[in-house]
Structure 1
Amino acid sequence: MRTKSIFTLLTFLFCMTGLFAQQYTVSGKVTDNEGVPLAGASVFVADRGIGATTDENGDYTLTLSGGKLILEATYVGFSQSTKSLNVTGDMEDVNFELTSGMSLEEVVIYSGSRKPEKLTNSPSTIVSISPREIEEFPGNPAELLARKKGVDYFRAGIATPAFNIRGFNSNFNSKNLMVVDNRFSSLVATGLPLGPLSTVIKEDTEQAEVILGPNATLYGPNAHNGLLNITTKDPRKYEGTTLVANVGVNGDGNAFYSQRARFAKKFNDHWAVKVTGEYTRAEEFKYADSVYIDRKDADGNPGRDGIKEGYEEFQLDPDVRFLKAEATAIYSPSQGTDLIATYGHSNSTYLSATNVGRNQIVDWRINIFQLRFKTRNFFAQVYHTTSKTDDTYSIDDRTKAYYAGIDAGMTPEEAGGDFSYSTGALFKDDSNRWNAEVQYSNDFFNDKLELVTGIQWQLDRANSLGTYLLDKDENDFIEVGQLGGYVHGLYDLNGGFKFLGAARVDNHEIYGTNFIPKLGLIKEFNKGSFRITYGQGIAAPTILNMYGDLFSGLILGNAEGFTLIDGTVIDPQDVEKLNTYEAGYRGTIGKNFYIDANAYYNNNKNFLSPVTVIGVASHRGDTPIEEVQSGYAIYNGLVATYINFGEVNTYGTDLSLTYSINPKLSVTANYSYFDYSYDKNNPENDFNKDGEVNFLDVLVNAPKNKGSLGINYSGNSFYGTFFTRWVQEYNYFSSFQIASETLPGYTYRGVPIVENAPSGDSFNYGPLGGFATVDLNAGYRFSKTFSLGVAITNLFNQDLREFTASPPTRGLYLLETKFNF
């Protein structure tokens, strides 16, 4: 009864927000570039849920409340067109001319200010994947990130495409935040982006943007290196049923197939729904990593004079499976006021690279429950994310345990059973997270000041059922709370100049209060803008960093610090801090040429290190190490953990040039340069404590140069892209993982750095990158109902070394059939 009363009250309040708002009429016509009316085109108000469809004459009419807005016009086979309006009365002849093919016109985004804006006017460095690009690419839309400037894109296998921004990549990288429909999409305990675990399917993805560099003022302490923001399709704008089937084969001859469906319906002015689903099945590229083990002879003595021997991963399962479903219902009590409820589920099985080899992800289930409230000036949401797996395990550790059992005289069946998980190889997870946010946006001082302000709350509740965290059982949750508030203001200084001032205050239960500012000056021209910005970012340690308990306590979290047996004190981890200075230009030159360029300089302090051995500990915090380390009898207090260290400067530039040969044919060239510097005389930079500061302490893990070239054709019926990408060779070090050329006189983790040779517990196959590859995709719309597409990734089936603890990625060849009703 109480719940019903609350719902009735909320509905009444929602209605009141729009009841007294002045309503105006906006009308116009949508045509092609030859003036032919486009019947059935969609005209939509960005982020308001208000739209109309053109009649047989291409005419439309909208009734809406006043204020600043962005109007979008779309039609199948044509590029989206947008107009910025300030509606203060009825408006006629708001006309759109759509072109068949790629357009140089700015697209609407939602990342830079958490409100609709033109890309050319954004105060942030953003690359956007447009709705048309997603629609016309038959493969995984994550592949489109490789076609954007400033993004280090790599594949850790057929199921795990990933990206990094501006250096400091690792096999366990939580410095890039993933946001889907305003909700943070990351794993609770590790902070890793959901990536393949996401509940969203391609056909429901409207647009994706990547912010290059920190955006912590609006998105919090985990938007450190960059941000991937995904917006799904509004069922009122994208109605109908879509059925898709992909079949294909990878370069090893293994099959791939995927079936996806989306249904969306606007029932009336008050109700709309959408439902999506996906089932994907594939087999990973053929590859078995080498695990290096100290084998024992029958008497328990080291075999082969103590030299580690390499063995293939034990019981490797190359099967890849994804099951996804999502449903959304929208209730609009009045125009421009929405209550949106979303439920999503995914179940995923695949291989995932980590710092200590690969993990076998087995039936990892993600559930999201999200409730959003939106009006013209207010946004509020609450959402709940759950994460659960019972059978995921470390292949590396399980392999070592198996052969230890064999050496102890066990049968293969005995060694490969429960015993193979006895050293902590099994990972269970039953974690959840609560998030809530309230946001207000408005214009003040005669529309001179655009203001966005809000409060965000997050409560992480991690539980590993005693497998990889310092919890004890299913009832022992590790809880960490965060509360942050932000304000983002853009003030019009006249003459095309705008001043950006933004700030955030975050209070973290473990790491206290942090203040994060951002300042900028933007100069807008007729067809572009120039910007200069300064911003800060912080990266807070994850729950795994703070309370990890891996492999019977060999790896322990560092929330409380350690004392070594020689009295050395290892401080608890703190936040990593980043200061960024950036300049950029974005806009069109003439009618056919578009340029997007930026340069940046970063100062990075207090790095959050990859897992590293600190020595033999006597205490974790105030607790004797034998009471914390379950494998104390084996390790005798030897601990690996995460620490802060050093200061490094990074700098670079990103350039993207697009030339439109004609409305249907365009060419895009991208180039990025990245480099770094550090003080060799600063002892805090001596991460490995060998008395010398060099590149092995910094571990930048990024190519210095990379570039790409794309030729895009997009017509009413036929569309296609030729794309080639070049990545310069670079050395890569991430905890136990190494990919480097031979470096005479240097050692990593106590082992000489030699290419194509064992290196500790892993194998050094040589540097990453050092390749140029070609991708192709094409499609044909036979009608509005049916289209056929092909996508070829890595056309020549090269062995590309893109990541460690991963197979060399080879070709992937897909055929897609799509039906729209």
Structure 2
Amino acid sequence: MRQLFLLSTFMLLGGVTAQAQINMAGIVTDDKDQPLSGATILIRGTNIGTTTQNNGQFELETNVELPLTISVSFIGYQRKDVLVRGNNFRSLTVKLSEEVVTVITGELVLAPSRVPEDIQKAAVTVEKLGAKQFQQSPAATPFDALQNVKGVDFLTQSLAFKTVNLRGFGSNNNSRFLQLTDGMDNRSPGLGFGFGNVAGISDLDIDNIELIPGASSALYGPDAMQGLMFTSSKNPFTYQGLSVQLKVGANNFGKDDFGPKGYGDVAIRYAKEVSPRFAFKVNFQRFSGTDFIADDYSDRQTRSRANFLATDPNRVGIATGIGYLQNSNANTNFQYDGLNIYGDEITANGSAYTFPKDYANVLLQNKLVTRTGYTELELLGNNGKVFNNRANVSLHYKLPGNIEASVGWYYGNGNFIRTANFREYFPDYQRHQIKAELRGENFFLRAYTTQQKAEAWNIGQMATAINNSWKSLGQWAAEFGQVYIDNKFIVGDSRATADRGRYLPGSDRFNAVRDAFAKTYNTDSVPGYRGAKGLGFRDNSALWHYEGMYNLSKFLEVAEVIVGGSIRHYALNTGGTVVALKPDGSEYTIDEYGAYIQASKEVKLSMVTVKPTVAVRYDKNQYLDGGFSPRASAVVSIGPHNFRGSWQSAFRNPSPNQLFSVPGTGKAGEVGGLQSVAESAGLVSNPAYLDSDVNDYLNGRITEDQLRGRAYSPTTFKTEKIKTWEVGYKTLLKDKLYIDATYFQSKYSDFIVAQSFYQPTTGQISDLTTNAYRVLQINYNNTNEVFVNGWAVGAEYGLGKGFSLSGNYAHQVGTVTLRDAQGNVINDNAGAPIIKRKMSNPEVVQKGRNYFNSPENRYNISLNNPQLIDRLGATVSFRWTERMWFEQGITAGDVWLPAWTSLDAQVSYKVPVWKSIVKLGGTNILNKYYSQGYGLARIGGLYYLSITFDELMR
């Protein structure tokens, strides 16, 4: 592969011929003839550009043939395209008018079709955020500004780790959404999900972010099912000089026993054009503070509870809603299981005890009692401290023929908590990405590698390990039971007596036990702890990726045609702690390849412009069947009115975890979907049964023979697929009213879901009646028909005197037709078939999880004025998200997550003499705590003050 890449490079370079250089020069001013310093000048269709000096003047050397078009833009002003000819290229004068709306309306975008095109005329829905949006957003970072984009659902797992979700199936670890950073996949090679802002680009170096909701596999391959985020950094030829940002802030207000807590953030960027051909840049950013804390200690709602769903006795036990009554008082509740308290889980091995049916006291017979757990802060022992480092060094060289060669090193490091089936703590994540790229007007070649060190431990299992290393569950329960009988049946006194001598958080013994289990992998025994397995796991996996694209338009007059392809190699390195090892003890590797072709043609018919586009891609993973993902789209432009429509298909390869995971020896675990993995987990010799089927059996709705007939049977694992059609409309009327609306319908097939199955301990069905089983999350392609329909609209209106009012509303509904393994429609408990019912419907929930985890409705409203008074600007935004049905992990729970609101605001002041902006802002400034996912940290107010110096020493 490497030789092929190098050969292609030399072939392209060998065909390059020198062209005559021209040196453009000019000045950029506002309507009042005042020079604009820092305005950006780009040659349309290329990455060649520069910015203006303090006096508004610029020079730009290029060998692009005249005539050409330059695009001139500046924050707060309307972008202008200027035609450059042989008679004006040395004396260009560009006047920019103040912009009424803040949305990007005339910019070029790259992500929708891989070639530059006007955002107004993109045939698919696309959002773009640039310097203007970042500056005027109340969000503390450019990444956080995405939460104001229509249809975006954030899941905040940690202050430095946030996940973008679009169009349903919200996930803490969204493997259906593709994040590209300068063209590089942002995901963890082994864990299989994007790390978002943990290891992205330094805030000062982000040029723009393009976001495409919906299927994008036709050009970008696997995993771009629900959307694509393309983050581009600043080119050192265009953005030069020294930039510095200093930020201080605070969060965790209103917590008498904890907050408030401060944080600091410093970023430095330096870029220099050493010569007309060579430039470089260096970036570094350091953030440190205190995380938002997962401190919801209410009694957990989970389907593992007895009588969890309320039923209607008049309709044969059909579910009507949540029936479990929470009791958050551990002194009165035998089964108290605090949501963010660990080691007290009712289903986790070693955390709960069921007294025998022949126990001496009848009041305790068959009674389940949970141990006393530890909070997240107690287990971490770091008082919630969080840090994040990002760095980048890039070298750029211009070759003849408008070809730019670059090589870059990207580094990310930090600690964070992620939520998968359990909460997991990564104390020192590190990632290196190294990229080499050649980019010309009609092609690019790119090669990069991702190398990471990701070691972590399970927070919930750690609490159980600490408890059991002090006193066995059986001994603890015996002491609890004795006191309960002798002390007038008081739960609180019984717990307190059984807990005497328990390891106290922060004590030397507590820390010694925690560190011993954290530093020992889950494949090894912890020395001195009677053969107990460690809790540490690692994903030190690597990825190598090679890709290229060529635009054949110069050779074909009939249409614009691009072709491209990619080769990818994963080298897993988990030591069996995350995914299985091969039978010979070696690590798995994964090879993938794909190729695509796209053709488009713009046709002008009088006052109407039509641009149809068709594309198709083929991809193959070595463990799965290959497949095609076609796309057809068109945009029709009539004056300022742009109508778009598309039909798209996409697919997702299972992540390495979903392919190869094997459960440990505990009472819970995850199983990959490959048949060989299922066999190694004993699922052939000792079958497992879907939790809803087990519930039907225990309640007498099906017989033992019927249950056996529904046992999990490993079959061929397939890629997950989606087909989507959507229509949209975009316009900017009289530079004052902007509208962007879209409607879509999607259908999934071979949907991959990790569903809860019960595996009897001895293989006997009777084990299920005595809680003698383990709970497995088995990844498989279910036969359900899954549908997601929705619409979204965004609008902005210029109110005059610099004010603009903007807002967006998004609506999405997930429905499902449930089918059994034989493809038959499943009936609810009243006998009615479940066809296209909402996945939050209790009658559907009763039959198993679907993990839609997305609000049906949400909206944002913003009022903005970048020049409120002279150099003072301000923005105020309000965000609302409707309540949603949320299903999380093995034990985390099933719950209606409450609706939430957030009021955000910022004021900024420009100091031109220092090329600086001072910004005071905050999100959730009313400090109304909310959670974006069940069991996640509760988010309160975040307040900050920043000063940014831009392009000093230019």
TM-score between the two structures when normalised by the length of structure 2: 0.75
Quote the residue 1:730 is aligned against.
884
Name whichever structure is richer in strand by fraction. Answer: 1
Query: Which residue of the partner structure matches residue 43 of structure 1?
Result: 41
Structure 1 stretch displaced more, 432-441 or 708-717:
708-717
Separation (CA, whole Å) in 1 of partners of 2:827 and 2:369: 24
Shift of 1:156: 2.8
1:70 Cα deviation (Å)? 6.4
Matching residue's letter, 1:169: G
- CA distance in structure 1 between the partners assigned to 2:514 and 2:81 by the alignment: 64
Distance 1:372 1:70, change over 3 A: farther
Residue 293 of structure 1 corresponds to 345
Does residue 401 in structure 1 map to residue 545 in structure 2? no
Distance 1:617 1:27 in 2: 79
Distance 1:282 1:551, change over 3 A: farther
CA deviation after TM superposition for structure 1 residue 685, in Å: 8.6
The Cα shift of 1:310 comes to 5.8
Which amino acid counterpart does residue 857 of structure 2 have in structure 1? N
Partner of 2:548: 438
**1:642-697 per-position Cα deviation (integer Å, ceiling 9, x unaligned):** 11111112111110001122473211110111113333577759899989744324
Secondary structure at the residue paired with 1:591? coil
- Retained in 2: the 8 A contact 1:451–1:490? yes
C-alpha separation in 1, matches of 2:223 and 2:95: 41
Query: Where do 1:116-515 residues align within 5 Å?
Result: 116-137=116-137, 139-250=140-251, 251=253, 252-288=259-295, 289-291=340-342, 292-293=344-345, 295=351, 305-309=367-371, 311-313=373-375, 315-316=379-380, 317=382, 318-334=384-400, 336-356=402-422, 358-390=423-455, 392-408=456-472, 412=503, 413=509, 415-419=513-517, 422-423=532-533, 425-443=535-553, 449-471=559-581, 476-495=586-605, 496-515=609-628
| Superposition pairs of residues 535-550 of structure 1, within 5 angstroms | 535-550=648-663
Contact 1:68 1:84 (C-alpha < 8 Å) held by counterparts: no
Q: Is the 8 A contact 1:403 1:415 kept in 2?
A: no
Q: What corresponds to 1:744 in structure 2?
A: none
Following the alignment from structure 2 to structure 1, what is the Cα–Cα distance between the partners of residues 248 and 616?
Answer: 48
**Alpha carbons 2:517, 2:534 under 8 Å: kept:** no
CA contact (8 A) 2:79 2:96 kept: yes
Greater Cα offset, 578-587 or 169-178? 169-178
Instruction: State the 1:458 CA deviation.
Output: 0.7
TM-superposed CA distance for 1:542, in Å, is 0.4
The structure-2 alpha-carbon separation of the partners of 1:180 and 1:663, relative to structure 1 and needing over 3 Å to count, comes to farther
CA distance in 1, matches of 2:37, 2:15: 34
Q: Distance in 1 between matches of 2:146 and 2:190?
A: 26
Q: How does 1:579-618 map to 2 (within 5 A)?
A: 579-613=723-757, 615-616=759-760
1:140 alignment partner, SS class = coil
- Cα deviation digits, residues 617-655 of structure 1 (max 9, x gap): 999xxxxxxxxxxxxxx9988643211111112111110
- For the pair shown, which has the larger CA radius of gyration, 1 or 2? 2
Does 2:670 align with 1:555?
A: yes
The 1-side partners of 2:461 and 2:828 are apart by 27
1:767 and 2:896 correspond: yes
Once the 2 structures are TM-superposed, how far is the Cα of residue 579 of structure 1 from its aligned partner?
A: 0.4
Cα offsets for 1:187-233 (capped at 9, x unmatched): 01122112133141110001001100010011111101111110000
Amino acid at match of 2:294: Y
Number of aligned residue pairs: 773
Contact map agreement 1:26 1:61 (CA 8 A) in 2: yes
Judge conservation of contact 2:893–2:934 (CA < 8 Å) in 1. no
Match of 1:816 among 946, 949, 953: 946
Q: Partners of 1:647 and 1:444 in 2: how far apart?
A: 45
SS of structure 1 residue aligned to 2:367 = helix
Which amino acid is the alignment partner of residue 97 of structure 1? K
Structure 1 counterpart of 2:854, one-letter code:
A
Q: Secondary structure at the match of 1:396?
A: helix
Opposite residue 188 of structure 1, the aligned amino acid is: P
Alpha carbons 1:424, 1:467 under 8 Å: kept: no
Could you say if the C-alpha distance between residues 257 and 494 of structure 1 is closer, same or farther in structure 2, counting changes exceeding 3 Å?
same
Q: How far, CA to CA, are the matches of 2:827 and 2:569 in structure 1?
A: 34
Cα deviation 1:487-517 (Å, max 9, x = unaligned):
1221123320111100000011111211000
SS at structure 2 position matched to 1:649: strand
Return the match for 1:672 from 798, 810, 813.
810
Counterpart position of 1:81: 79
**Alignment correspondent of 2:923:** 793
| Mapped contact 2:355–2:365 kept (Cα < 8 A) | no
- Which deviates more, 12-21 or 696-705? 12-21
Corresponding residue of 2:859: 707
CA contact (8 A) 1:329 1:342 kept: yes
- Provide the rounded CA distance (Å) in 1 between the counterparts of 2:16 and 2:93: 27
Q: Deviations over 1:755-777 (max 9, x none)?
A: xxxxxx3466x532512220012
Give yes or no for contact 2:236–2:280 (8 Å, CA) kept in 1.
Answer: yes
- Is the alpha carbon distance of 1:118 and 1:801 closer, same or farther for their aligned partners in structure 2, counting shifts above 3 Å? same
2:910 corresponds in structure 1 to 781
Please tell me whether the aligned partners of residues 277 and 399 of structure 2 are also in contact (alpha carbons under 8 angstroms). yes
Is 2:619–2:627's contact at 8 Å kept on the other side of the alignment?
A: yes
Gapped regions of structure 2 (runs ≥ 5): 254-258, 296-339, 476-500, 504-508, 521-531, 688-707, 764-770, 835-842
Answer with 27-36 or 436-445: which moved more. Answer: 27-36
CA distance in 1, matches of 2:773, 2:748: 35
The Cα of 1:151 is off from its aligned counterpart by: 1.2
Q: Distance in 1 between matches of 2:816 and 2:365?
A: 43
Report the CA distance between 1:135 and its aligned residue: 3.7
Q: Is the 8 A contact 2:793 2:810 kept in 1?
A: yes
CA change 1:370–1:680 in 2 (3 A) is closer
Secondary structure at the residue paired with 2:429? strand
Structure 2 SS opposite 1:145: helix
Aligned-pair Cα RMSD in Å: 3.4
Distance 1:10 1:532 in 2: 36
DSSP-derived class of the 1:430 partner: coil
Amino acid at match of 1:793: T
User: Per the alignment, do residues 32 and 418 of structure 1 end up closer, same or farther by CA in structure 2, a change over 3 Å counting?
Assistant: same
Classify 1:52/1:348 alpha carbon distance in 2 versus 1 (closer, same or farther; 3 Å): closer
CA distance in structure 2 between the aligned counterparts of 1:689 and 1:510, rounded to whole angstroms:
36
Q: Distance in 2 between matches of 1:685 and 1:705?
A: 32
Q: In the alignment, which residue of structure 2 is the partner of 1:695?
A: 844
- CA gap of 1:524–1:303, structure 2 versus 1, over 3 A, is farther
Structure 1 299/214 Cα, relative in aligned 2: closer, same or farther at 3 Å? closer
Cα distance change of structure 1 residues 171 and 12 upon mapping to structure 2, 3 Å threshold: closer
Shift of 1:134: 2.0
- What 5-or-longer segments of structure 1 have no aligned partner? 620-633, 737-760
Whether the 8 Å contact between 1:172 and 1:355 is mirrored in structure 2 is no
1:268 deviates by 0.9
Does the CA-based 8 Å contact 1:273-1:329 persist in structure 2? yes
Q: How much does 1:46 deviate?
A: 5.1
Structure 1 residues 712 and 670: CA distance shift in structure 2, 3 A: same
Q: Which residue of 2 aligns with 1:526?
A: 639
Which residue of structure 1 aligns with residue 314 of structure 2? none
Instruction: Map Cα deviations across residues 741-796 of structure 1 (whole Å, 9 max, x no partner).
Output: xxxxxxxxxxxxxxxxxxxx3466x5325122200122111124332111201010
> Helix, strand or coil for the counterpart of 2:461?
helix
Q: Residue 25 of structure 1: CA displacement?
A: 7.4
Shift in Å at residue 466 of structure 1?
2.4
Instruction: Say whether 1:641 aligns with 2:754.
Output: no
* 3-state SS of 2:594 partner: strand
Once the two structures are TM-superposed, the CA of residue 264 in structure 1 deviates from its matched residue by: 0.6
Deviations 1:393-428 (A, max 9, x none): 110111122223233279843754535764453111
Separation (CA, whole Å) in 1 of partners of 2:14 and 2:58: 31
Q: Deviations over 1:61-118 (max 9, x none)?
A: 654324997633234x543615387x89777687643234555642222211112221
Aligned-pair CA distance for 1:443: 2.0
Residue 143 of structure 2 aligns to a residue whose secondary structure is helix
Contact 1:49 1:336 in 2 (8 A): no
